[in-house]
Amino acid sequence: MNILGIDPGPLQSALALWDTDAEEVLDHQYIHNDAAVEYISDFASPLCEFQLDVLCIEFIQSYGMAVGQETFGTCLYCGDYRRTGLNMQVDTSLVFKTTWAAGLTGSANANKSQTRRAVIDRYGYWKHGSTGLGVKAHPGKLYGITAHIWDALGIAIYAMEQYAAGKRPVERWKDYQLREAKSKRKAKKKERK
């Protein structure tokens, strides 16, 4: 099964295509959002080198703070990616950063370096070099992964682990709404005291 993880951004998005059988990165890109929509659409072509089975997209999560135009632009592209996947009849999921980060690291508050470390701990190559990535002469499975691609790869690996556990990597909106309502009630109680 091939899973495409996407870490969306306001102008560019990171994409990582993960082969769950070989447990390796088939392709990774950090490209403009319009090109990313085309990249996803290309999987529908019979000429495409790879098959796409699952599309897992990090979705914007509210932290109760004011946001700017960039955040709304990112939301629009999340919707474009989702719609493209659904039109291709690919299993498509939106997942919050806190959800997939907790799935990889055990902590919803994990930062980029902690999620990167969790991926390296699972699939690192330690025979050559000390980073777990390998070296140019002896590249490991993660050789060449940089910056935002780590998050896209983490999303894809989280999705793979959810499927292996018999679950879908989808945010349950009702659960999220219940958690939000509970935290608001707690905050109001604190204000009253």
Say if residue 8's pLDDT is above 90. yes
Of the two residues 49 and 192, the one the predictor is more confident about is 49
Tens digits of residue pLDDT in 87-133: 999 999 999 999 999 999 999 999 999 999 999 999 987 777 777 88
- Whether residue 102 contacts residue 110, with contact meaning beta carbons closer than 8 Å, is answered with yes
Tens digits of residue pLDDT in 49-91: 999 999 999 998 877 888 888 899 999 999 999 999 999 999 9
Predicted model pTM: 0.84
Structure tokens at 45: 């072509």
Distance (Å, whole) CA 10 – CA 68: 11
Distance (Å, whole) CA 26 – CA 131: 20
Q: May I ask the CATH class of domain 2-192?
A: alpha beta
Mean pLDDT of 159-188: 75
With a pLDDT cut of 70, the percent of the chain lying above it is 93
pLDDT at 63: 79
Structure tokens at 146: 């940089």
Pairing of strands 91-96, 2-7: unpaired
pLDDT at 115: 94
Measured in whole angstroms, the distance separating CA 156 from the mean position of its chain's CA atoms is: 6
pLDDT at 134: 82
- Whether residue 107 contacts residue 101, with contact meaning beta carbons closer than 8 Å, is answered with yes
Distance (Å, whole) CA 90 – CA 134: 33
Nearest to 55 by CA among 85, 14, 28, 84: 85
pLDDT at 136: 85
How far is residue 68 from each of residues 50, 73, 180, measured CA to CA in Å?
Answer: 37, 9, 22
Say if residue 191's pLDDT is above 70. yes
Average pLDDT, the chain: 89
pLDDT at 124: 86
pLDDT at 140: 83
Distance (Å, whole) CA 148 – CA 12: 10
| Every domain of the chain and the residues it spans | 2-192
Structure tokens at 103: 């799935």
pLDDT band, residue 160 (cuts 50/70/90): very high
